[in-house]
Structure 1
């Protein structure tokens, strides 16, 4: 029947099969790219929403306590701050006590985390918020906090995995970091602010936006400034956008 139909339409069976093969190859090439682009647009929207939500948390906290989160944390520590967070974020619950120094029998930090986290270029890594465990909110995001700031400086660092333990679980793609500010806001890490502490990045400090701090290499602090580029949708390379080009076309490789 297929052979007769092909003759009627003026095509040979071989020509039809070749055409179907070409269609299959094109689909195999384009569908993964299309899926990645859709995923990246969803993550971009989630990041902007998360940024807005945590700004509301920070401003409401300042109204209630008559001091900013950095001021509160510098007086009461990050542990004291974390006790207040459930008043502002629905459904927060701790599901892992992991922190820097929690290692397996081979001295590896990454295997003791509740789920695997990756660098852009591959390879397991640990998040830059590494001291106070893993928490979920009601939407399924993973929330992590870092060390409390020195008095008068911004902090602590806030790390968010936008879709929790769902893949890709990759720094700079679905895991981003922010800083609480002394004027009652949250800023994408890499954003300049007069009360940022630009030293001791491992203990309350932060960085300015630069390609050095948004690259795909394995390393705890190599993607700190990716949040700045992702929010503004600017490629760290200076060419194109963050989501379509830097992430979508893998400019980081």
Structure 2
């Protein structure tokens, strides 16, 4: 006896195309979020690694050369095309400390990456910096002894010139002012004895995009210099401001702290 197949048929071409179209729309809507989430996790991991490795370099320098960040001396200012040569006479500058204790594959000045090269812009750009007041407010509470945070221009959005750039073998770049020195925290609560932090930036993936300073979701914070400033960072980016003192390297903004301590 032959069997009859009841109520069974294949999908029509139109139905298949509609289904594929729906899948494509959903994928287009969700993929950017998934990519940002993955990249954000990578930036966060690299940032934590950079803080750890740089802190270990300071500890190693204490053991080998018997001085920490509070004993650093003023170094030379980096200039275009000759970064590194200026530092020949630096005894205990930030450059000397990190160059001796970390695997530095390249040294440059920030103006090596700013200007016009054969008609093409060669900026080490910051794509967006909505929280510029974030680290400025932090620095304002900790730099009254002389060291100041690099003032990032808003137009064009690029690093100021004269900063030193150390490129590490793992792709991380450290950007800072080599003339900073005596990076220390106040030893008393006396108003005369203020903190003298030194400041810089960690770019966890070098010159690769997005080259964006990490920012809080809710934009610029009035009280961002406070350690307990409310801040949430849903999508970590690749540039993090840091503060250096004594034997410590810490986040220098509410956003950078939020990324470091987020669960």
* TM-score interval (norm. to shorter): 0.5 to 0.7
Partner residue, 1:232: 261
Q: Summarize the Cα distance change of 1:26–1:120 in structure 2 as closer, same or farther, 3 Å threshold.
A: farther
**Deviation (angstroms), 1:150:** 5.6
- Give the gaps of 5 or more residues in structure 2: 1-6, 78-86, 131-153, 185-194, 215-236
- Contact 2:109–2:165 (CA under 8 A) maintained in structure 1: yes
Question: Which protein shows a greater Rg?
Answer: 2
Partner residue, 2:197: 155
Cα separation, 2, equivalents of 1:154 and 1:93: 28
Partner residue, 1:50: 50
2:212 is paired with a residue whose SS is coil
Partner residue, 2:41: 41
**Deviation (angstroms), 1:151:** 7.0
Which residue, 132, 140, 143 being the options, matches 2:174? Answer: 143
Partner residue, 2:148: none
**Deviation (angstroms), 1:149:** 4.3
Q: Summarize the Cα distance change of 1:51–1:32 in structure 2 as closer, same or farther, 3 Å threshold.
A: same
Which residue, 86, 101, 125 being the options, matches 1:116? Answer: 125
Cα separation, 2, equivalents of 1:68 and 1:77: 19
Cα separation, 1, equivalents of 2:32 and 2:155: 22
Partner residue, 2:65: 65
- Contact 2:183–2:245 (CA under 8 A) maintained in structure 1: no
**Deviation (angstroms), 1:135:** 2.7
Residue 175 (1) aligns with residue 239 (2): yes
Cα separation, 1, equivalents of 2:155 and 2:21: 36
- Give the gaps of 5 or more residues in structure 1: 1-6, 105-110, 191-224, 234-240, 242-253
Residue 185 (1) aligns with residue 248 (2): yes
Query: RMSD across aligned C-alpha pairs, in angstroms?
Result: 3.1
Q: Structure 1 length normalisation: TM-score?
A: 0.61
Cα separation, 1, equivalents of 2:166 and 2:174: 5
- Contact 1:98–1:133 (CA under 8 A) maintained in structure 2: no
Cα separation, 1, equivalents of 2:256 and 2:183: 24
1:73 is paired with a residue whose SS is coil
The runs of at least 4 consecutive aligned structure 1 residues that moved more than 4 Å come to 76-79, 120-124, 149-152
The one-character-per-residue Cα deviations of 1:28-70 (angstroms, maximum 9, x if unpaired) are 1111211111111111111111111011011122233333213
**What are the equivalent positions in structure 2 for 1:83-94 lying under 5 Å apart?**
83-94=96-107
